[in-house]
Amino acid sequence: MRTAIVGATGVVGQEMLSLLKDSCLGTETPRLLASSRSAGKKFPWRDGTVTVEALEDSLDLSGIDVALFAAGGSISKEWAPRFVEAGITVVDNSSAFRLSEDVALVVPEVNPEAIPSGPAVIANPNCSTIILLLALKPLWDLKPERLIVDTYQAVSGAGVAGLEALKREAAGGEFREGDPFPFPIHGNLFPAIGDVDEDGVTVEERKMLDESRKILGDPQIIIQGTCVRVPVARCHSLAVTMLFADKDPDRLQQAISAMDKAPGVIHHSDHEKPPTPDPLSGQHAVAVGRIRAPFSDGLQMWVVGDQVLKGAALNTVQIAEQWSRLQ
C-alpha cells in the first residue's frame, strides 16, 4: 500500500513522514507533495532519500492508495475531492471537512467504527478535541451532563511562526504584532485563540464543542471553557471538570479504574507528580493526572498531550492504518 503526504515539508507533514517509517503504511516509499517552491527538496527515507513533488494540475496520482493531508484548509478543499475521485482515501488534518455531514470525524480509540472502507475523505479533529476525548472516552459511561474544559495551548499550535516568536522574545527580541500573536507571548498568556463570535466564543472553543458532539454522537452534551495560549513550546494541557446529575460516592473509584485501562492514556496517580508538558513532548500517549472528586456530583482531572503528534500527525496516521485494515 502506497501513501502520499500532502504538505510534506511542514511541521506536521514531517512528523507524519517519521511515523510512517514504523507503520504498516510504510512498506513502500511514500510520495511527498508540497508547493512548487518546495519541489525538489529531498528528505531521508530508510537507506535513501525521497524527493518532494509539486502539487500541481499535471501531477500523476496513479499508484497512491491513501493520502495524508497537512497543508491547510484551502489546499484540502481544492485537492481532497480530486484525490477521492482518483480512488484515493484522504485523511485530512485541516478543519475543512470536520463538520461536513458526509465526512467521518475520527479518533481511533473513540469511534473507529466511523471509518469508511472505500475511497473517501476522513477528517482528523482539532488537536485539543483529540486530547480531550482520549481522556473523556473511558469515563463516558459515567454519563456526564456538562463539561468545563480550559485549555492551555502551546505556541507550536500556531506553527513554526509561533515557536519563532517565543524564541525571539525569550532572547530579548522585539514583539511583532500579528506574527503570529496579537500580544507578546514570552512571560505572558492570552485567553483567546482564533476569532471571537457574537457570543464571545472563540473559534477554538467552538471547535471543541462541535467536534466532540459529532465524535461522541451526542448533540446535547455541553462543553464550556476558555482556550488560552501559553508560553510553552509544545504540548497542550487541559483542566477538565465533569458535572453529573446525581451524587455518587463511588464515581471517583470507577473513574480511576477506567482510566487505568484506557488505550492511549497514561494515568499519573500521584497527585503530587502530575503530568506536565515538557516530559510529554514527543510522546504518543496522552497523560492524565489529578483525578479527584471534591464534590460528589463532579469529577476533575488534568490532561496533557503532544498536539503535534497525537493531536495531529499521529492521529492522522492511525486513522489511515485502521482504514488500511478494512481493505
Of residues 164, 107, 154, the one with CA closest to residue 305: 154
pLDDT in tens, the chain (327 residues): 999 999 999 999 999 999 999 999 999 999 999 999 999 999 999 999 999 999 999 999 999 999 999 999 999 999 999 999 999 999 999 999 999 999 999 999 999 999 999 899 999 999 999 999 999 999 999 999 999 999 999 999 998 899 999 999 999 999 998 889 999 999 999 999 999 999 999 999 999 999 999 999 999 999 999 999 999 999 999 999 999 999 999 999 999 999 999 999 999 999 999 999 999 999 999 999 999 999 889 999 999 999 999 999 999 999 999 999 999
**Yes or no: is domain 3-125+312-325 CATH 3.40.50.720?**
yes
| Cα(175)–Cα(26) distance, integer angstroms | 42
Annotated catalytic residue within 24, 186, 227, 236: 236
Q: Residue 209: which residues within 8 A CB-CB, separation 6 or more?
A: 222, 223
Confirm whether 236 is a catalytic residue. yes
Where do runs of H (alpha helix) occur along the chain?
Answer: 11-20, 73-85, 127-136, 160-170, 203-216, 251-260, 277-280, 314-325
**Residue 63 backbone class (left: φ over 0; alpha: ψ -120 to 50; beta: rest):** left
Q: Where in the chain is the domain with CATH 3.30.360.10?
A: 129-307
Q: Where in the chain is the domain with CATH 3.40.50.720?
A: 3-125+312-325
pLDDT for 288:
98
DSSP class of residue 311 equals I
pLDDT for 26:
95
pLDDT for 179:
87
The grid coordinates of residue 262 equal 484506557
Confirm whether 284 is a catalytic residue. no
Annotated catalytic residue within 127, 227, 267, 268: 127
pLDDT for 296:
87
Q: Is the previous residue joined to 119 through a cis bond, with omega within 30 degrees of 0?
A: no
For the domain covering 129-307, report its CATH number.
3.30.360.10
Q: How far are the Cα atoms of 70, 102, 156, 194, 221 from residue 214, in angstroms, in the given order?
A: 22, 12, 26, 21, 10
Of residues 26, 288, 294, the one with CA closest to residue 136: 288
The grid coordinates of residue 287 equal 497523560
